Every structure is written in structure tokens, then in C-alpha cells.
Chain A
Amino acid sequence: MRNAYNRFRLGLTPQSVLAFVFLIILGYLVIVPLFLMLRETFLIHPLERFQIPGSSVGDLTFAHWERNFLSENAYAFFYRPLLNTLRIALGMSFLALAIGGTLAWLVVRTDLPMKGLISNAAIIPYIMPSWTLALAWITMFKNTRIGGDQGIFTALTGVVTPDWFAYGLFPITICLALHYFPFGFMLIGGALRNIDAQLEESAELLGASRPTILRRIVIPLVLPAIFSTFLLTFSRGLGTFGTPAFLGGPVREFVLSTSLYANLIGQRPGIGYLAAVAMIALGVLVLYMDYKIIGTRRSFVTISGKGARAGLVALGRWRWPIAGLVLGFIFAVIAIPLTALAIDTVMLRPGIYSWDNFTWHYWVGDASLTVGLGTGEPGILRNWQLMSALGNTMKLAVVVALITGILGILVGYAIVRLRGRWVAQALDQMSFFPYLMPSIALGAIFLAMFAVPRGPIPSLHGSFWLLVIVCTVSYLPYAVKAGVSAIRQVGPELEEAAIMVGASWWTRMRRVLIPIQKSTYFSGMLLPFISVTRELSLLILLVTPATQLATTITLRYTDRGWYPYTNGMVLLLVIIVVTSTVVSRRVMGTSIAKGLGG
């Protein structure tokens, strides 16, 4: 007995203690919610008792499952949104990958000029909120058929845009692809860079032509990277909320996430939770495919080549035209939407684009029921509601970035130091799991979980800390990835050298492990920071008037058709995000690609 205790005590290393603590916490925050959510699909909620005869609140029932999958409304409730979701996710992933992959190849493998500028600019669409493009699309192409005013395009050309072009699946797919192509650019670019040049040179010596080398050597080698990038983008597409909400709403075209939202805040929470379950099931399916198809082949992406990158493909006289085209494209994706949004905020009466309609009213004007839209709201910069929402967003972003950053280091440390043990594997997988959960579903779970007190944990409904917790869980995968790669790069001996002279665990972290990999850690924090500032779907269900955020309040203004306010807020967010990305790169050497583990 005493021996057993003694043996146990010897096993208490900092990493094993950390691992067990995090296993318990993550278990509570990741596994338990899953079951709660599943349970919600079998419960009668207050509003549902009238729809389902003879039921009372809290009863167990199969009615939601029946209605969702089998009733005559099942198509509208579930199958149509599901099909829409899959179509959008597939289409936008293909498109994003084609754009990103081509760009990556051009930048890494050809003698394209102005590569530095292109690489930096190509990331900006990703750090802008994804629905910036959606709003810009509406501003540009909206038509009057749905009600409201014409867009800039119609005003300029007189051509009225058809509904399918202005709203619904088509613009959603395009906007998402334009937002996510930097993903493919960064990840495929990384893979291309890692191919040993000698592999291609030896093919060249055997007389293979450039296209043959590309087709037979390069593409097969980066195929795993392409595939996992595809799945990554696809799973983002499954969960995305803002873009389909803005562009699908006007024509009542739903995807799973928007249908989830509508049902959950509407009268059918049971159906809403079922949509969330379906989304998680899809996410797990994607992970399973990733594991099955790529799991074994992934290894050779990382066989990294050393030495100089020999033989860039010469583009010849196409060099400058292509560079111009690429830059023009990226510039258009960034500048046109922002300009459209900006113009919209300075037009007094919407839809009329002329100089005498110019105004600063929506930025600094007084509250008025007669001027312009007559909203009775003061201009954005003088509107305390909007400004306090922006303040909340910043506060949340900083707090979440710090917490996830620290957690990333600690969890990464435990995972790396316990490599090969089951705890490390469990921790690794659990911290990755939130990545698969569509954020709107994660929000729904946390709503269910923290709405009422449970055991020692009080009800967190409506509190700032609930937002912090849900964001932390949601971005943990990025932070852990950064933490793992940072700790792994340091190597155990640097830490052991400090153990030898008696440095405590805390001293080792503070004075050895963290300083050596500063920039990687900060990169790990940057991504959560950016994500929080533009997060909509994760938090939309959880905010209350007291905790309104810049993004969620924007949605409320959109609902009322007050686009100048919405667009102005988005511009502010874009400015904040881009500035902080640039500044942190200058000051701390962070990079988004590093944060993605690419």
C-alpha cells in the first residue's frame, strides 16, 4: 500500500498533473455539452408544447426527430438546408482551392515579380470578417424586387440584377470562396515550399517536361496538403453563418446554420438542436475522411527539402501581365468591397449615388427621426451602444487571446512531453474537437449548458465570462497547434539543462521555454484575437443586451435595413484587425501562417 502510494508520487510530474487537469476541464467543456445537446433533441421546450398535442414542458419525446426527418415539412426543415449547406461548402471549397492553389504555385514556383507584396496582400481577405464581402455584395448588387433600394451596380448601369445573382446560393458561394482562398494559398504554399528540389531535378534530368513534372511529381506530392486544405475549408463552409444569413435571408434560402438559428430563437428549439447535431455529425465525418484518406499519406508532405530552391518556372513575357492580373484580383477582392461599404456610409438617402447626397450623418450626426433613414440613432462614432459594443469586442478579443495563448502553451507542453502515452493522445484529440464543431452549434450547446446552474457552476447566461469560455474552447485548436509546434521545436534537452541546475517548472517555462519561441506563441494568440473581433456565429446565441458585441449588434441593424451603420461598423472592424495584424508582425514577428501551424 505504502509502496503503491510512493510509486504514484514519483509519477507526479508537472506534465502529468497538467494533462489530467486539462483532461477533466476539456471533458467538461467539450464532451459533456455534446450529450446535453443530444438530450435537448428529445425534450419538449416551452413553446413546443402547443405544437405537440398533449405534451408538457420537459417531457421526453421523439416528436422532433419525426418532424425533422419524416414529416411533410422535413424537406423545408432539414433536407433543403442540408442540401444547400453541402452545395455551398463543396462549391466554395473547390473555388477557394483553385484560386489559392494557383496563387501558391505562382508565388512559390515561378519567377513572378512582386512576390512579397502578393503574399502579404493575399492574406488580407482571410483576416477581414467573412461577411464583409457579403455586405459589400448586397451594397453593390441588391435589387429593388425584394423591397428596399437599388445597389451601386444598378445605379451605375441601369441593369437590374436578377435575384439569383443578388441573393442566395450563388453569391454565398462566391463570397465564401473569396474569403477562404488565402487558406489554400498559405497551406498549399507551405507544402510546395517543403518539396525537396532534388525530386524535381532528378525528373528533369530524366527528360521530363515542366508540365509532366508538375503533373507527375509536384501535384502527387502536395496532394495530401491539397486534400486536407480542402477538408479544412469544407468544414468551415459547413458551419459558416454570417454570409448565408446576410445573403440568404432576403430570399429565405436557409442553410443548416441559419435554420438552426431561426428555429432556436424562434418556436422550434428541438428542430434547431437537431440541425446542430447534424452539423457536428458532418464535422466528424469530415475528420474521419481526413483520417482515412490522408492519415497514412500525410507523412510525406513533411519530408522537407533543404537547400536552395532551384529552377523556378520562367513565365517569360507573361511575367508582368500575370503579376498585374493577380494583384488586380487581390486588390479587387479587398478594395472594391471596402469602397462599396465606405460609399454606402456617406450616402444620406440609400441607393442614390451623387455628390449632393453626400453626408457624414451616419458617422457623426445627431439622433434624428427625419434625416436620411430616420433611425433615431446618433452617428456611429457618437453612438454609445455601438461604441460600447466595439469596446466589448476588443475586451473579449484581448482576454480570449491571452487565455488561449497560455492554455496553448500549457496543453502543448503536456502533449509534447507525454508523447506516446494515451493521455497525450486524448488531450490532443479533445483539444482539436472544437474545430469540427460548427461554431453556431457550439454556441447552441453552451447556451443549453450554462443557461441554468449545474452543480457548483452558476448560471453564466448573459455574462461576459460565458463569451470568454466559449471563444476559448472554440479557438483552442489553433492555440494548441501553435503550442505543440513551439514546444516541439525547443527540444527536451534545453529544458533538462535547466532542471539540472534546479530551476523550478515555473522558472523553466518563464525563462527558457517561452522566450525561445516568443513569436510562435504570439502567432498562436493572433489568430484567436482576429477571430474574436469578427466572430458572429459562435456568439450570436449567447450575447444579451449587456454583452452586445460589434458583430452581433451589426446584425440587428441589418435586420432593420440600416445598412450605413452596419457597413460603418464593419469598416471599423476591418481597420482594427488589419492594423493589429500588421503591428504585431512588426513588433513581435508573428505570422498568421505560423498560427495555422503551416
Chain B
Amino acid sequence: MPEIVLDRVSRIYGKDVRAVSDLTLEIPDGSFTTLLGPSGCGKTTSLRMIAGLDMPTTGTIRIGDKLVFSRDQGRSLPPAKRGLGLVFQSYALWPHLTVAKNITFGLEVQHIGKTEAARRLEQVATALQIDELLDRYTSELSGGQQQRVAIARVLVMEPSVLLLDEPLSNLDATLRMDMRAELKRLHHDTGATIVYVTHDQLEALTMSTHIALMQGGELQQFAPPLDVYSRPANKFAADFLGNPRINLLEGSIKNGRVRCVGLELALPSGIAKPDNSAVTLGLRAEEIRLHTQPKAGTESARVTAVLPTGSDWYYHVDMNGQTLTVRQNDAPQLQLGSTVHVEAVPDPVKLFSADGLAIALPQNHSEGV
């Protein structure tokens, strides 16, 4: 199964709409890589360039050991020769064909024999549990069924790379959960390299082996999901991932300690930052503890909202004019308006310098405070 390498790929529409700029990305062989980012950040464009439906303005793309695109060499391998399959966001099922014909269309076009085609059809239909639907027209299917057909149509071609553009966004919440598990199983069973586009961070965190986080056409971070979560490369990454959103506290460094909005914690060893340099501290909701009694390093705050979700409690607290979101899974039964004492327990410490980039921690660092 091949890796996919994008080398300084840009796509400029018209004169100056930079849909993707200078994207360099090595999608590992056999990985489940998610292109994640807000709407309009260039995910679909990137995927379409990999598929060969769109051409980069500059840059090269390689799949395995094949150079599939290079403008300078006048090379653009047709999509069908790239050995990949694409599931469209709208599914793009052909309305004038039955499910079976939709699935076997590609085999026919590629002149694959009738018996072989029938065998493959049966195989994917069984695997995706659509064997009952083969004679229907696609307009007679539910959203989830249409989605399976769209995937079956691609799998039947036995691609080594599978590209999916927000395939779950048209489904309702429960069906979406089921399909997530199913896609993960599919990845496991086929061993194909999967490139998956979504703007849903939960989908990205639960399904992928790698996340490519994009914004404004540029790559922000490329790492396994938990790394992006706990070691965001910049403020945008910290802010985009995580629910509720991360608390960002402005502050500065004084005598080897970080001071932000009244909170104080030790600068992790190995970080050398001059005194008085401005920093931003990122604290996830679960990295804050609330105490009823003051302790060393705590700062007092007032509870402004209590939001139970069943398993957890969310609190909004006002600390020196800044609202923090806090998650607790044991219930200290804090009252609205009561005074609490905030303790920061980041793991690891997420510090950003004034330009928004993360201040790199030495390797193997854990344990903040």
C-alpha cells in the first residue's frame, strides 16, 4: 500500500484565490489520515488534487513510487490510473442506474469479465450489507444505504488508496456513529491507505491514525491525533481541537515562572525564555481543578454557570475578568455565584509565544507544575 507525497503543492483559482498554498505532506503507507480544518480551508481541493480531478498550480504529487503530477514535466496521470477510489460528499450515485449497475459500471468500463465482475459485486455487497438492494434505483434508498453503495462502488475497483470527502456529513447522529465504526473496520480489513476529509474534530480524533490540520489553505500540523491534542503546534491547533474549547490565558514569564491572569506555575525544565517575554498558556477544561479552599498557586474565581452533562460537570468561572471553562467528573456541588480557587494542572504544559507558535518542550517531558 503506497504512501502519498505532496511536495509544495499550491492551487490558485483565478488570479489570487489561494485555495491551497505550499502544502507539503507525507501521508504514510496504510495510514488513516484525516484532513481536518474549518470550512473553506482547502480540504476538498487537496483531496481532488490527489485524486487527479483538479491540478495543482505548482508542486508535485507522488503516490507510491509513481510521480502522478508535475506541471513542469507535463505529467498528470488520469485519475483511474492512480489506483485510488473517491467517495464524494454528495455520493454522486447515478440516478438512472440500479445499485448493481452503479457498482459494476467501473468494472465494465475497465473490461473486466462478467464472472469476475459478478464475484466482486457479490463480495462487496455482502461486506457492506447491501445485497438486498441491488435491483433498486438509488433514489429509492435511505441516506445510509446510499452511502454504503457509494463506498461499494469504490471498493469494487479494489483501490489501494481510498479518498473520502466528508462521507458522514449527510447522516444523522446515530447512523454516523455506526458508520464511523464501520469505516474503521474497513480500514483494518483492506489495509488501504485512507485519506479522509472532515471538519468534525471528534471524527478526526476517533478514527484517524494521523491528522493533517489545515487553515486558510496552509498546513498547521501533521501528527497523530493525541499528539495534536496534547502538543498543538500553534494556538490555532490548540483552539480548533478539543471540546469544550481550550482556555487561552495571556501572561508573561517572571523569574522562571509563568504568570497568567493571577495563576502561577513553574516553567518546565529545559525551556529557556527571557524574563518579561509575553506568552500564552493553554489550559484544557480537564486541566483545571477547582477547590473550595485556597492552596499555594491557586487563584480565586467566581462560578458563573453550572452545566451538568450527565457524566461530567462543566463550570464557567470568572477569574480576574476572564471566563474559564472547567470540566470535573466528580461533583463538588459548587453553587452558582460561589467563590472557588482555581488550580492549573496542565499535562503537558502548552505555552505559545507571541507569534502564536508553540514553545517546544524538550522530548519526553511530562508532569507540569
Q: Which residues of A contact B (CB under 8 A)?
A: 3, 5-7, 9-10, 420, 491, 493-494, 496-503, 507, 511-512, 515-516
Residues from chain A with a CB closer than 8 A to the CB of B96 are: 515-516
Q: What are 8 inter-chain pairs, A to B, with CB distance below 8 A?
A: A6-B74, A6-B75, A494-B92, A496-B86, A497-B153, A499-B78, A501-B105, A502-B79
Given contacts A3-B72, A507-B109, contact A10 B55 (CB under 8 A): yes
The CA-CA distance from A512 to B93 in the complex, in Å, is: 10
**B94: which of A7, A10, A497, A499 is its contact (CB, 8 Å)?**
A497
The CA-CA distance from A6 to B80 in the complex, in Å, is: 21
Residues from chain B with a CB closer than 8 A to the CB of A5 are: 74
The CA-CA distance from A9 to B75 in the complex, in Å, is: 9
**Contact between B85 and A500, CB atoms less than 8 A apart:** yes
The CA-CA distance from A5 to B71 in the complex, in Å, is: 10
The CA-CA distance from A7 to B56 in the complex, in Å, is: 12
- The answer to whether the Cβ of B243 comes within 8 Å of any Cβ in the partner chain is no
**Contact between B92 and A493, CB atoms less than 8 A apart:** yes
Residues from chain B with a CB closer than 8 A to the CB of A500 are: 51, 53, 79-80, 84-86, 106, 154
Given contacts A7-B71, A496-B53, contact A502 B78 (CB under 8 A): yes
**Contact between B105 and A502, CB atoms less than 8 A apart:** no
- The answer to whether the Cβ of B90 comes within 8 Å of any Cβ in the partner chain is yes
**Contact between A502 and B92, CB atoms less than 8 A apart:** no
- The answer to whether the Cβ of B269 comes within 8 Å of any Cβ in the partner chain is no
**Contact between A499 and B74, CB atoms less than 8 A apart:** no
Given contacts A9-B74, A515-B96, contact A498 B105 (CB under 8 A): yes
Closest 5 CB pairs of A and B: A6-B74, A502-B80, A501-B106, A493-B92, A497-B92
**Contact between B74 and A494, CB atoms less than 8 A apart:** no
Residues from chain A with a CB closer than 8 A to the CB of B55 are: 10
**Residue among A493, A496, A500 facing the most chain B CB atoms (10 A cut-off):** A500
Taking A497-B86, A497-B94 as known contacts, 17 extra A-B pairs with beta carbons closer than 8 A to each other, sorted by chain A number, are A3-B74, A7-B72, A7-B74, A420-B14, A493-B90, A494-B94, A497-B153, A498-B109, A500-B51, A500-B53, A500-B86, A502-B78, A503-B80, A503-B109, A511-B105, A516-B94, A516-B96
The CA-CA distance from A516 to B96 in the complex, in Å, is: 6
The CA-CA distance from A507 to B80 in the complex, in Å, is: 14
CB nearest neighbor in B for A6: B74
What is the predominant secondary structure among interface residues of chain B facing chain A?
loop
- The answer to whether the Cβ of B88 comes within 8 Å of any Cβ in the partner chain is yes
The CA-CA distance from A515 to B85 in the complex, in Å, is: 24
Q: Contact mask B88-131 → A, CB, 8 Å, 1/0? A: 10101111100000000110011000000000000000000000
The CA-CA distance from A493 to B166 in the complex, in Å, is: 14
**Contact between B106 and A502, CB atoms less than 8 A apart:** yes
**A501: which of B14, B72, B75, B157 is its contact (CB, 8 Å)?**
B157
Q: Which of B19-66 contact A (CB under 8 A)?
A: 51, 53, 55
Residues from chain B with a CB closer than 8 A to the CB of A497 are: 86, 88, 92-94, 153
Distance (whole angstroms) from the CB of A9 to the closest CB of chain B: 5
**Contact between A499 and B53, CB atoms less than 8 A apart:** yes
**Contact between A501 and B74, CB atoms less than 8 A apart:** no
The CA-CA distance from A420 to B17 in the complex, in Å, is: 14
Residues from chain B with a CB closer than 8 A to the CB of A512 are: 94
Distance (whole angstroms) from the CB of A48 to the closest CB of chain B: 53
Distance (whole angstroms) from the CB of B81 to the closest CB of chain A: 7
Distance (whole angstroms) from the CB of A424 to the closest CB of chain B: 14
**Contact between B105 and A6, CB atoms less than 8 A apart:** no
The CA-CA distance from A93 to B51 in the complex, in Å, is: 53
Q: Which residues of B contact A (CB under 8 A)?
A: 14, 51, 53, 55, 71-76, 78-81, 84-86, 88, 90, 92-96, 105-106, 109-110, 153-154, 157
Residues from chain A with a CB closer than 8 A to the CB of B88 are: 493, 496-497
Residues from chain B with a CB closer than 8 A to the CB of A496 are: 53, 86, 88, 92
Given contacts A497-B88, A501-B80, A503-B109, contact A6 B71 (CB under 8 A): yes
Residues from chain A with a CB closer than 8 A to the CB of B90 are: 491, 493
**Contact between A499 and B79, CB atoms less than 8 A apart:** yes
Distance (whole angstroms) from the CB of B265 to the closest CB of chain A: 52
The CA-CA distance from A9 to B78 in the complex, in Å, is: 13
Distance (whole angstroms) from the CB of A310 to the closest CB of chain B: 27
CB nearest neighbor in B for A5: B74
**Contact between B85 and A502, CB atoms less than 8 A apart:** no
Residues from chain A with a CB closer than 8 A to the CB of B154 are: 500
Distance (whole angstroms) from the CB of A486 to the closest CB of chain B: 13
Residues from chain A with a CB closer than 8 A to the CB of B79 are: 499-500, 502
Distance (whole angstroms) from the CB of B19 to the closest CB of chain A: 14
Residues from chain A with a CB closer than 8 A to the CB of B85 are: 500
**B109: which of A420, A501, A515 is its contact (CB, 8 Å)?**
A501
**Residue among A3, A497, A499, A515 facing the most chain B CB atoms (10 A cut-off):** A497
The CA-CA distance from A498 to B51 in the complex, in Å, is: 13
The CA-CA distance from A494 to B94 in the complex, in Å, is: 6
Residues from chain B with a CB closer than 8 A to the CB of A420 are: 14
Distance (whole angstroms) from the CB of B85 to the closest CB of chain A: 7
CB nearest neighbor in A for B80: A502
The CA-CA distance from A491 to B14 in the complex, in Å, is: 21
The CA-CA distance from A420 to B15 in the complex, in Å, is: 12
Residues from chain A with a CB closer than 8 A to the CB of B14 are: 420
Distance (whole angstroms) from the CB of B95 to the closest CB of chain A: 6
**B95: which of A10, A501, A503, A516 is its contact (CB, 8 Å)?**
A516
The CA-CA distance from A358 to B363 in the complex, in Å, is: 111
**Contact between B109 and A502, CB atoms less than 8 A apart:** yes
The CA-CA distance from A114 to B74 in the complex, in Å, is: 64
Distance (whole angstroms) from the CB of A13 to the closest CB of chain B: 10
The CA-CA distance from A516 to B85 in the complex, in Å, is: 23
Distance (whole angstroms) from the CB of B87 to the closest CB of chain A: 9
The CA-CA distance from A490 to B300 in the complex, in Å, is: 61
The CA-CA distance from A493 to B79 in the complex, in Å, is: 14
Residues from chain A with a CB closer than 8 A to the CB of B80 are: 499-503
Distance (whole angstroms) from the CB of B312 to the closest CB of chain A: 41
**Contact between B94 and A6, CB atoms less than 8 A apart:** no
The CA-CA distance from A515 to B55 in the complex, in Å, is: 29
Distance (whole angstroms) from the CB of A433 to the closest CB of chain B: 27
CB nearest neighbor in B for A9: B74
The CA-CA distance from A502 to B105 in the complex, in Å, is: 10
Distance (whole angstroms) from the CB of B154 to the closest CB of chain A: 8
Distance (whole angstroms) from the CB of B70 to the closest CB of chain A: 9
Given contacts A493-B92, A511-B105, A516-B96, contact A501 B110 (CB under 8 A): yes
Residues from chain B with a CB closer than 8 A to the CB of A503 are: 80, 105-106, 109
The CA-CA distance from A507 to B93 in the complex, in Å, is: 16
Distance (whole angstroms) from the CB of A267 to the closest CB of chain B: 56
Residues from chain B with a CB closer than 8 A to the CB of A498 are: 94, 105, 109
Residues from chain B with a CB closer than 8 A to the CB of A507 are: 109
Distance (whole angstroms) from the CB of B8 to the closest CB of chain A: 17
The CA-CA distance from A496 to B93 in the complex, in Å, is: 11
CB nearest neighbor in B for A515: B96
Residues from chain A with a CB closer than 8 A to the CB of B93 are: 497
Distance (whole angstroms) from the CB of A24 to the closest CB of chain B: 25
Distance (whole angstroms) from the CB of B151 to the closest CB of chain A: 12
**Contact between A10 and B106, CB atoms less than 8 A apart:** no
**Contact between B72 and A6, CB atoms less than 8 A apart:** yes
CB nearest neighbor in A for B102: A497
CB nearest neighbor in A for B70: A6
Given contacts A498-B105, A501-B109, A502-B80, contact A10 B71 (CB under 8 A): yes
**Contact between A502 and B71, CB atoms less than 8 A apart:** no
The CA-CA distance from A237 to B92 in the complex, in Å, is: 45
CB nearest neighbor in B for A512: B94
The CA-CA distance from A119 to B70 in the complex, in Å, is: 58
Residues from chain A with a CB closer than 8 A to the CB of B105 are: 498, 501, 503, 511
Distance (whole angstroms) from the CB of A517 to the closest CB of chain B: 9
CB nearest neighbor in A for B69: A10
Distance (whole angstroms) from the CB of A7 to the closest CB of chain B: 6
**Residue among B71, B72, B73, B105 facing the most chain A CB atoms (10 A cut-off):** B105
The CA-CA distance from A9 to B72 in the complex, in Å, is: 11
